[in-house]
């Protein structure tokens, strides 16, 4: 347990739970338990508060206790607490725990579709999932990040047709996904004029399904090129997957599974209309309709393939929890998937759909090309360009590498700071600003701290036994002490925005400290404490930013 939790844990008992005071003037920790207990014991809150006070008075952490109405307000011993927190925060593994020891969490995230650019929905999934991946790893879980590609469907017939006819090999080499997407769009434009193309594409698809070598080779090529293309985005955020799979892996298994579900009477044969002779899951009882698992012609669907993939993950990883980071449009799909898994009695852990809202750009600011989707790469490019302009404006320098890191930070933070279920509207100026709740602001506070440490040049000495801690220093100590708890909360609630909000408050408190407390121009004893604080802040912030996929710029 880390310092803050340890203190809280030592003081709390049963109904009496201490928590951080909302205002420092009211003490560092407080409890309102006396009000509740007074009712039970039919006495006054003040009396109970006195009793609580007597019980905790001897704690070595406490310097004084004040009772205000029924609240028990505790002031901590600043020296002791500061020393303890610094000891923890200066370690390389600050925030780490073995909470997840022996447990596996599977996270299905990003999961874009082959031969199509990632859209902003995939970007949001990539960033949310990537952050959770790191957060759970820090807590000691074995995390398996899975990129489950959309690599099945009749669109591959169209693509093969278009490829044979119109591919521009040079463009394919330079920007494969763009070229594949161009072919796809062109196919549709042409097919509108010449409907017979649809038939030709169906024929190509049939040959692909039958495993004709040329067709399978092309499909593989589309897949490989797409993975390479997606990797460009992943590299920006330092994301690595443990498994790159895809729907295509599960076609055969999905067919078998449908049969199995028929036998177990979880599924039945459709009797009328479109679903006649199809294998359907009867989920009417739970208000989840009759989703099709196998069409009457024997082909599988998104749902049945996902089910087969889940069975596989369950066997392979024996996971404790599986999280699917996918937009809210697919809420029904995941309810159906999880319900069928439950009916099958799959021996695996909890299943969770981390659903999220839309990401939009301000109207008219950016072309969305032919379709209605906004491409992830365009968003990133735009952010990086704007960061580059900002750097030029501020420092009259061109620093493309830092621009990349700042642009990435702006996008990552804008996505992570908002609650997943909320829609996000990107306001470029706002998300790229060096002030306010933004990724660049966090980076800025980090580089400020780094500059101080570099200027100091030497490693700070040990703290002496009788240093003093003023209120700015104290707020910073407490903010640093909150880090492990912020990580824990974000993990337990599966909500990275809790950590993002924490990081912003940490930066804010550091900047107040920085304004009021000179570090290098302070008396020797103060200098030791302040340098250590800056160093602890730097470690903590760097770690928080790492968890939020935000890189550290060279200078800012």
The answer for residues whose C-beta is within 8 angstroms of residue 446's C-beta and 6 or more apart is 507, 538, 541, 542, 545, 552
Structure tokens at 20: 């951080």
Nearer to ligand ARG, 313 or 382 (CB): 313
Q: Please say whether the beta carbons of 156 and 219 come within 8 A.
A: yes
Least separation in angstroms between CB 136 and ligand ARG: 18
**Whole-angstrom Cα distance, residue 241 to residue 110?**
10
Nearer to ligand ARG, 30 or 245 (CB): 245
Which helix (DSSP H) or strand (DSSP E) does residue 355 occupy?
A: strand 350-356
Place of tokens 């070598």: 213
Least separation in angstroms between CB 148 and ligand ARG: 4
- Pinpoint the alpha helices (H) of 345-466: 376-395, 400-416, 428-432, 439-456
Nearer to ligand ARG, 322 or 547 (CB): 322
Nearer to ligand ARG, 330 or 511 (CB): 330
Least separation in angstroms between CB 243 and ligand ARG: 12
Nearer to ligand ARG, 123 or 208 (CB): 123
Least separation in angstroms between CB 294 and ligand ARG: 18
Nearer to ligand ARG, 112 or 291 (CB): 112
Nearer to ligand ARG, 84 or 113 (CB): 113
Q: Please say whether the beta carbons of 161 and 201 come within 8 A.
A: yes
- Burial readout 21-32 (b: 16 or more C-beta within 10 A, e: otherwise): beeeeebbbbbb
Least separation in angstroms between CB 115 and ligand ARG: 12
Name the percent of the chain in helix, strand, coil, to the closest 5.
Answer: 60, 10, 30
**Whole-angstrom Cα distance, residue 303 to residue 133?**
25
Q: Work out the number of other CB atoms within 10 angstroms of the CB of residue 132.
A: 24
Nearer to ligand ARG, 72 or 159 (CB): 159
Least separation in angstroms between CB 186 and ligand ARG: 22
Least separation in angstroms between CB 381 and ligand ARG: 21
Least separation in angstroms between CB 152 and ligand ARG: 10
Nearer to ligand ARG, 266 or 373 (CB): 373
What is the dihedral sign for C-alpha 516, 521, 527, 530? positive
By beta carbon distance, the residue nearest ligand ARG is 150
Least separation in angstroms between CB 228 and ligand ARG: 18
Query: What 3-state class would DSSP assign to 70?
Result: coil
Least separation in angstroms between CB 291 and ligand ARG: 13
Query: What 3-state class would DSSP assign to 232?
Result: helix
- For residue 50, CA distances in Å to 20, 24, 53, 66 come to 19, 21, 5, 10
Nearer to ligand ARG, 113 or 418 (CB): 113
Can you list the pairs that 60-63 forms with residues at least 24 positions away whose Cβ atoms lie under 8 Å? 61/7, 61/10, 61/11, 62/11
Question: Cα 29–30–36 angle (5° rounding)?
Answer: 155
**Whole-angstrom Cα distance, residue 41 to residue 36?**
9
Nearer to ligand ARG, 76 or 323 (CB): 323
For binding to ligand ARG (CB under 6 A), which residues are involved? 108, 111-113, 148, 150, 306, 324, 326
Q: Residue 391's Cα: distance from chain center in Å?
A: 28
Least separation in angstroms between CB 112 and ligand ARG: 6
**Whole-angstrom Cα distance, residue 547 to residue 434?**
20
Q: Report which of 519, 551, 550, 547 is spatially closest to residue 454, judged by C-alpha positions.
A: 519
Four-point Cα dihedral 222, 227, 230, 231, nearest 10? -150
Least separation in angstroms between CB 105 and ligand ARG: 15
Nearer to ligand ARG, 351 or 387 (CB): 351
Q: Please say whether the beta carbons of 92 and 83 come within 8 A.
A: no
Q: Residue 4's Cα: distance from chain center in Å?
A: 25
Least separation in angstroms between CB 313 and ligand ARG: 9
Nearer to ligand ARG, 7 or 359 (CB): 359
């Amino acid at each position: 347990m880390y310092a803050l939790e340890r203190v809280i844990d030592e003081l709390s008992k049963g109904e009496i739970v201490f928590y951080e005071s909302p205002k420092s003037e009211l003490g560092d920790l407080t409890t309102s338990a006396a009000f509740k207990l007074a009712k039970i014991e039919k006495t006054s809150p003040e009396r109970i508060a006195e009793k609580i006070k007597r019980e905790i008075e001897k704690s070595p952490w406490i310097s004084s206790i004040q009772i205000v109405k029924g609240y028990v307000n505790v002031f901590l011993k600043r020296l002791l607490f500061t020393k303890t927190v610094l000891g923890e925060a200066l370690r390389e593994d600050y925030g780490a725990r073995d909470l997840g020891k022996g447990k596996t969490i599977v996270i299905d995230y990003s999961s874009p579709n082959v031969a199509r650019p990632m859209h902003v929905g995939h970007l949001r999934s990539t960033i949310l999932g990537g952050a959770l991946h790191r957060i759970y790893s820090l807590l000691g879980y074995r995390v398996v990040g899975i990129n489950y590609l959309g690599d099945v469907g009749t669109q591959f017939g169209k693509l093969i047709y278009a490829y044979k006819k119109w591919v521009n090999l040079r463009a394919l080499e330079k920007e494969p996904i763009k070229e594949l997407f161009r072919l796809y769009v062109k196919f549709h434009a042409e097919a509108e004029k010449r409907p017979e193309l649809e038939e030709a594409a169906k024929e190509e698809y049939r040959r692909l399904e039958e495993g004709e070598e040329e067709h399978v080779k092309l499909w593989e090529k589309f897949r490989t090129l797409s993975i390479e293309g997606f990797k460009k985005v992943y590299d920006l955020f330092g994301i690595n997957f443990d498994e790159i799979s895809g729907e295509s892996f599960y076609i055969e298994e999905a067919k078998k599974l449908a049969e199995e579900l028929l036998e177990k009477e979880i599924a039945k044969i459709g009797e009328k209309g479109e679903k006649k002779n199809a294998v359907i899951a009867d989920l009417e009882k739970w208000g989840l309709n009759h989703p099709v698992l196998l069409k009457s012609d024997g082909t599988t669907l998104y749902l049945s393939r996902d089910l087969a993939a889940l069975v596989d993950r369950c066997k392979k990883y024996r996971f404790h929890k599986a999280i699917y980071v996918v937009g809210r449009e697919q809420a029904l799909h995941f309810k159906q998937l999880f319900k069928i898994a439950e009916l099958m009695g799959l021996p695996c852990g909890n299943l969770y759909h981390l659903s999220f809202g839309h990401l939009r750009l301000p109207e008219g600011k950016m072309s969305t090309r032919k379709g209605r989707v906004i491409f992830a790469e365009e968003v990133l490019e735009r952010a990086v360009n704007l960061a580059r302009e900002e750097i030029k404006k501020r420092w009259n320098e061109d620093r493309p590498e830092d621009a990349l890191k700042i642009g990435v930070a702006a996008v990552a933070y804008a996505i992570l700071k908002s609650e997943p279920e909320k829609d996000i509207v990107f306001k470029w100026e706002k998300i790229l600003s060096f002030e306010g709740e933004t990724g660049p602001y966090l980076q800025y506070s980090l580089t400020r701290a780094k500059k101080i440490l570099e200027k100091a040049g030497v490693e700070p000495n040990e703290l002496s036994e009788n240093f003093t801690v003023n209120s700015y220093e104290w707020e910073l100590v407490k903010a640093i002490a909150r880090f492990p708890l912020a990580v824990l909360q974000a993990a337990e609630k599966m909500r990275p925005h809790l950590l993002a909000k924490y990081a912003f408050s940490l930066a804010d408190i550091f900047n107040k400290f920085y304004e009021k407390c000179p570090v290098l121009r302070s008396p020797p004893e103060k200098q030791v404490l302040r340098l250590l604080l800056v160093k602890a802040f730097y470690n903590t912030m760097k770690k928080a930013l790492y968890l939020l996929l935000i890189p550290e710029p060279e200078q800012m």
